[in-house]
Structure 1
């Protein structure tokens, strides 16, 4: 499968998934996916889950041969775009070890990864309103008249995708108090109205994941609970994930609804996690990328291993 992207992107030797000072756009992401497919054609496959509001493909990367299906997603929030190359780099690391005869954890599981869940928003947060965008005037107004979208978390229609899921959606809308499109915290007119959130929900229901992880920034915290719906094994695994990382904490979160992991725990009664990678103020700077990855990769590895 050839993935549409910026074919001019050429990386030097070493890791395919890299982050430059200029940031990380959907075109770079697609180009890196192409190169991963070329190098690891026997290890991983890529499927289209749907399209974003602006028609960008929503890619799911699958690797592993195990009967147990697990899932990770990233870049649900636009200004947390750094999580996309973090997750894709981990996918590349697993594929490279598998090709070399390692990554034995993939004997037991099949990983479905969606590294760039909000491509329109990620590009908007870095480059501003795209030329010819149908929502150009509205976006400027929703952003308080500013053309600086670096703090923007929502998708291109001003809907916060991590307030889109049908688990306490009405409670979260009331708590947020945001009545219309905005840079963050607007959950939309109804749950799963946005194609990006609907695609994640559809994949989750069809694949029957035994556990899921949604990667965000920042704070080095791991959230594992939702209104006492989580299974007993959820907290011990969160503790192991935190212990594996550098400076991470397992946190029992209250006062939060309508997120992806909230919905997964509520609907399936299986372990679901939100991992807040890195520290600082979003968007985290590219200079921190390597350091964040070193501390995060062991957390993701522990998640793949699962409850013991």
Structure 2
């Protein structure tokens, strides 16, 4: 881990600020800048946890913070323990502990027995720049809290990062949601991750969301979600170009000589726009990009040397082939619009379903023109399976969208994500 102190900057600082605020300390603005107020909050946290109160997040302080960031602790039953007593000490509930430990007998606790104790705070934060590392830890935290979910990898990125998927439900009706083909559009990852957490939290408590019976959905449908298709690109956008990146010099060249990827980079680590790399009128897309002057790797629009040239798109297509998806949702930003057509190959029901999505989200149905019409994920799905596929363009403004839009984006899309699993 990096040592964080006064003057430190970056996503590591931002996630610590968010956590401190969540557990009752005031670090000031959650802006990724380790200023005096953040230092004061760290000192207060250190004092409350019997640590050296120096305002520096070193190994000992981070060890405790990391457990809180993961959202759970490993606990060994002591003499006189009850689940109620443990829950009180961790500011959580007995139900959360039982959910995380399905084989536990609350009335026959064994001294020395190892259990998982979730904290009484959410795992997924939505007020921070959402990096791959944060997502990976959040997935671990959700799996610990809800061990009945399926977590796996559909493949790997250019740099070997796992393309994680999470499965909700056990029914025969399979649907597939994915986000972040484009790295500036990373806000779609916390959108999908927060949906996963809210779904699981309500399902485990026997509650509905917006009137939808989650137990019924769980039994009838299987929702597969890949929150981040392009983790390498997200790392470039949010963490910057690392000296140890094997494409370091090439990436600077492809980025027009700049080391700043934060406002322009949509591609993967080889300069390929993943949502132009699918075999659905790929040659038409290639002709259009050449007409635009794009003849090689670049921040956006370059569709690669051939269809499915990238491990990310190859993984997604294989993942689809390995399942029997009724429909797919590919999340992007921005425009508050839903695209539903491709080459007039979509089934007749696609428009009707799209209109339903439009109604619950407030997004309009639209049609794509020009280079954006080809070689996308939903285009390939429609072409291959003649089933409904949708590109959801969430939010409005210039990418990357600010986190201040997250609440509206989530509110607009929660019912759409629910209804897509049963429509």
Normalised by the length of structure 2, the TM-score is 0.68
Is 1:130 the counterpart of 2:242 in the alignment?
yes
Match of 1:3 in 2: none
Is 1:34 the counterpart of 2:147 in the alignment?
no
Q: Which of the numbers 363, 375, 386 marks the counterpart of 1:248?
A: 363
Q: Which of the numbers 402, 406, 423 marks the counterpart of 1:289?
A: 406
The 8 Å contact of residues 132 and 231 in structure 2, kept in 1 or not, is answered as yes
Match of 1:190 in 2: 306
Match of 2:157 in 1: 52
> 1:242, 1:106 → 2: CA distance?
24
Match of 1:215 in 2: 331
Count of aligned pairs: 298
Q: Which of the numbers 207, 227, 231 marks the counterpart of 2:343?
A: 227
Please show how residues 86-165 of structure 1 align to structure 2 within 5 Å: 86-102=191-207, 103=214, 104-150=216-262, 151-165=264-278
Residue aligned with 1:159, SS: coil
Shift, 1:13, TM fit: 4.3
Match of 1:204 in 2: 320
Residue aligned with 1:274, SS: strand
Dislocated runs of 4+, deviation >2 Å: 6-9, 11-15, 252-255
Residue aligned with 1:62, SS: strand
The 8 Å contact of residues 173 and 421 in structure 2, kept in 1 or not, is answered as no
Shift, 1:20, TM fit: 3.1
Match of 2:296 in 1: 180
Q: Deviations 1:55-89 (Å, cap 9, x if unpaired)?
A: 11111111101101110000110110110010111
Residue aligned with 1:207, SS: coil
Shift, 1:262, TM fit: 0.2
> 1:231, 1:219 → 2: CA distance?
24
Shift, 1:192, TM fit: 0.7
Residue aligned with 2:242, SS: coil
Shift, 1:278, TM fit: 0.6
Residue aligned with 1:94, SS: helix
Match of 2:211 in 1: none
Structure 2: segments with no counterpart, 5+ residues: 1-61, 72-118, 208-213
Shift, 1:130, TM fit: 1.9
> 2:320, 2:159 → 1: CA distance?
23
Q: Deviations 1:7-44 (Å, cap 9, x if unpaired)?
A: 837168433211234x11111000100010011112x1
Please show how residues 12-23 of structure 1 align to structure 2 within 5 Å: 13-21=120-128, 23=129
Is 1:276 the counterpart of 2:393 in the alignment?
yes
The 8 Å contact of residues 296 and 302 in structure 2, kept in 1 or not, is answered as yes
> 1:301, 1:275 → 2: CA distance?
14
> 1:54, 1:199 → 2: CA distance?
14
Higher relative contact order (CA 8 A, sep 6+): 1
Match of 2:281 in 1: 168
> 2:271, 2:164 → 1: CA distance?
22
> 1:108, 1:227 → 2: CA distance?
31
Q: Deviations 1:134-184 (Å, cap 9, x if unpaired)?
A: 111111111111121122000011000000100100001111222110000
Is 1:264 the counterpart of 2:264 in the alignment?
no
The structure with the larger Rg is 2
Shift, 1:117, TM fit: 0.7
> 1:218, 1:183 → 2: CA distance?
17
Is 1:75 the counterpart of 2:180 in the alignment?
yes
The 8 Å contact of residues 329 and 378 in structure 2, kept in 1 or not, is answered as yes
Structure 1: segments with no counterpart, 5+ residues: 1-5
Q: Deviations 1:188-235 (Å, cap 9, x if unpaired)?
A: 111111111111000001112110010000000001110110001110
Q: RMSD value over aligned CA atoms?
A: 1.6
Residue aligned with 1:63, SS: strand
Shift, 1:51, TM fit: 1.1
Match of 2:93 in 1: none
> 1:289, 1:230 → 2: CA distance?
31
